[in-house]
Structure 1
Amino acid sequence: RRTRYQRRSRGQEWMIRHARTAAGKSAVADDVLDQETGELRRPRAGDEQWVRPDRLARCSWRVGEVGVHADGHLAHFSGTERCGSIWACPVCSAVIRSERAREIQHAVTEHTAKGGGLLLVTLTMRHHKRQPLADTLDGLLKSWQKILRGKAWTTTKDRYGINGYLRSVEVTYGENGWHPHIHAVLFLDEQISAQAAETLGDELHGRWARYVMAATGKMPDRKHGVDVQRVSDDGKVVASYLAKMQDDHAHTWDVGAELARSDVKTARGSRSLVPFELLDVAADHLSADEKRALWVEYARATKGRRAITWSKGLKARYEVQERTDDQIIEDTERAPLRYVADGQAYDALRRRDPLRLALVLEAAEAEDWDQVARLLPGALLRIDIGPRVPPDPVAGSAFPRAG
């Protein structure tokens, strides 16, 4: 959580800078003179210097009375805006992707329990450093859509007993620029042999290479363009994928996590980064200006795209509820209100010390309300929330939620 809050703050600063320069204003706004008080203050709506950034940059902004909610185990704020970005918000993404991983793993577990087979398919494409991310994403997704059309796909489904799929898009950045790729889980009537999986990979590559070549002008080879792996009966991904994890959850890394939890992965290779790593201050081969430009490009290129899709009827088959990303945020923030914060103090922390906001939630989860008050002035509401009850290990998420 601490890392997520710091990353979110840095990403917002960069997006606000971009919005200001795009509007022809200085990258950083000067304080303005308040006509009522005669004091200098930050610009706000209605001031000449004010520029309204997009929703991503406004996540955590105060929109009402700020409350701290806690249920004896998890804590969160209320009265603040939430952007609901699965792609580019380190905080909202963690909440959404945790729930998406749980949904996916539920379907996978149900499917294998009924004797069905699973294949994890990874599709990649060649790229170079000067290619914009928006262009490579367009080429990737158009090629995927063509894979699923026509008589060839119908024949493939019949031959291998494919009765559904889940598709996830993942992005990294490395020496050759942006590297978007697809992870897809194919649901099969029954498990197939390793040889059959290899043959399917050959068939998919023939079509994938043709479509990618038409879309991008670059031909993906068989070794790097298409990878097909069988998933074990318990729904776990093969060990080679564990190397991509950023958090210490190797014992829970399953198909749901592989498709949905790109927020807790690290890129392969010493000079590769997942997008959230662009928001870290650690020294690497990229300058601060390069990181800022790349982050803005990533946020703009992914905006409005679907990160995870299910084939028609697959959610209904396994009784997975249809929920938008915003609905997931709302559903996971239902702890009782315990503390009302001073709004101006909250604003000051959000702008200057976002790490302390994460510490506020940690203290609230520990029921240390004296510490909450030291970190964020306000008033405690005395209510009885009952005994501390840990999350259901089956129904709950395999990963901690962000506050």
Structure 2
Amino acid sequence: MSPESEIFGFIRALEVTHGENGFHPHVHMIVFTNKETESGLLDFVYYRAWVRACRLAGLPEPSRLHGCHVQDGSFAADYAGKWGIEDEMTKANQKQAKNKGLTPWGLLRCILDGDDLDYPPKRAIGLFLVYSAAFKGKRQLYWSNGLRKLLGLQKELNDQELAQKADDEAAYTLATITVEQWKAIRKCKAEVMILNIAESNPLLITSVINNFVLSSGDAGPHSMGEGVPFYGGRGPTR
């Protein structure tokens, strides 16, 4: 790295998907540098570091094409400006993996829906258990030391501090959604509509959910039963 180049810090997100070649853990990073540092230089430095890490771990050497991919700052600025850095770096659960692969939460959807031939519920359960055991205690998002202060951001709260932090608004139970009802809502692609109704007219939630169950073609009783609580409050419903 030339004397003019300087790295101030980085944000690293740890992700994993599962596909035809098994689990694919990988890292996404935003690296903060001075303007003299070019993307080609970072590509050279990080690829060599990745090759060394794989070799020391007893893994095959990654290919030059797929082992490390660096894009310039304009790419990072576009999505970080649109979504916010933390939202973009941690929204992997909403992304679709390539080549019919699945994210961990995609595995959970397979367990719930039971209609994926490549990932039947029994297989999806086993794979999710493997994922959860391997990633327990791992940080999905990591800021290098001093970067938040350099960017003028407040200190990141740890889990205990977040748990002790007072809620911003009062919350109360609007309804309790059963697994069957949630499957019906998803089948009708009505998740956003449910949130909008919960915010604008929460008294309609029960009847609207039951109507979605009927519309989905599901048979059987549709009264609100045991399931997952659905909360509302004075602000936007979550």
TM-score normalised to structure 2 length: 0.69
Corresponding residue for residue 291 of structure 1: 124
Deviation at 1:226, TM superposition (A): 1.2
2:55 counterpart of 1:188: no
Question: What residue in structure 2 maps to residue 176 of structure 1?
Answer: 21
Q: Work out the CA distance in 1 between the residues paired with 2:127 and 2:178.
A: 24
Distance 1:266 1:222 in 2: 24
1:369 aligned to 2:199?
Answer: no
Q: 1:173 to 1:367 in 2, by over 3 A?
A: same
- Paired residue type of 2:158: T
Specify which structure has the bigger relative contact order, considering alpha-carbon pairs within 8 angstroms and separated by 6 or more residues.
Answer: 1
Shift of 1:167: 0.8
Match of 1:261 in 2: 91
2 CA distance for matches of 1:224 and 1:330?
A: 43
CA contact (8 A) 2:5 2:36 kept: no
Contact 2:4 2:36 in 1 (8 A): no
Amino acid at match of 2:66: H
- How many Å apart are 1:234 and its aligned residue? 7.9
Q: Does the CA contact (< 8 Å) of 2:30 and 2:76 recur in 1?
A: no
In 2, are the aligned partners of 1:236 and 1:255 still within 8 Å (CA)?
A: no
Task: State the alpha-carbon separation in 2 of the partners of residues 330 and 364 from structure 1.
Answer: 27
**Distance in 1 between the 2:200 and 2:208 partners?**
14
String of CA shifts for 1:184-233, please: whole Å, max 9, x gaps: 111112264xxx32133123222321221120331112211111111218
Question: Aligned to 1:226, what secondary structure does the other structure show?
Answer: coil
Distance 1:350 1:157 in 2: 60
How far did 1:256 drift? 4.2
The correspondence for 1:323, drawn from 143, 150, 157, is: 157
Cα deviation per residue 1:302-346 (whole Å; 9 max; x = unaligned)? 111111111111112222332235755786953334x567xxx94
Compared CA separation, residues 351 and 254, structure 1 to 2 (3 A): closer
**Fraction of identical pairs, as percent:** 25
Aligned-residue CA RMSD in angstroms?
Answer: 3.7
- Aligned partners of 1:350 and 1:329: how far apart in 2? 27
Q: Partner of 1:335 in structure 2?
A: 169
Matched ranges for 1:122-161 at <5 A? 156=1, 159-161=4-6
Letter in 2 for 1:166: I
Give the deviation of 1:297 after TM superposition. Answer: 1.0
Letter in 2 for 1:210: R
For residues 201-350 of structure 1, what are the structure 2 equivalents within 5 Å?
201-232=43-74, 235-237=77-79, 252=82, 255-269=85-99, 271-280=100-109, 281=113, 282-317=115-150, 318-325=152-159, 334-337=168-171, 346=176, 349-350=177-178
Change (3 A) 1:351 1:228: closer
1:24-173 to 2 correspondences below 5 Å: 156=1, 159-173=4-18
- Structure 1 distance, partners of 2:63, 2:76, is 31
Query: Compared with structure 1, are the counterparts of its residues 353 and 325 closer, same or farther at alpha carbon in structure 2 (3 Å cutoff)?
Result: farther
Partners of 2:2 and 2:93 lie apart in 1 by 31
Taking the aligned partners of 1:306 and 1:227, their CA distance within structure 2 comes to: 22
Structure 1 residues 336-390: Cα deviation after superposition (integer angstroms, max 9, x where no partner): 34x567xxx94xx45664569978765431223244588759xxxxxxx6xxx88
> Residue 213 of structure 1 aligns to which amino acid in structure 2?
R
Partner letter of residue 307 of structure 1? Answer: Q
* Structure 1 residue matching 2:8: 3-state secondary structure: strand
What is the alpha-carbon distance in structure 1 between the residues aligned to residue 52 and residue 30 of structure 2? 22
Letter paired with 2:14: V
Q: Secondary structure at the match of 1:168?
A: strand
The separation in 1 between residues aligned to 2:161 and 2:204, in whole angstroms, is 33
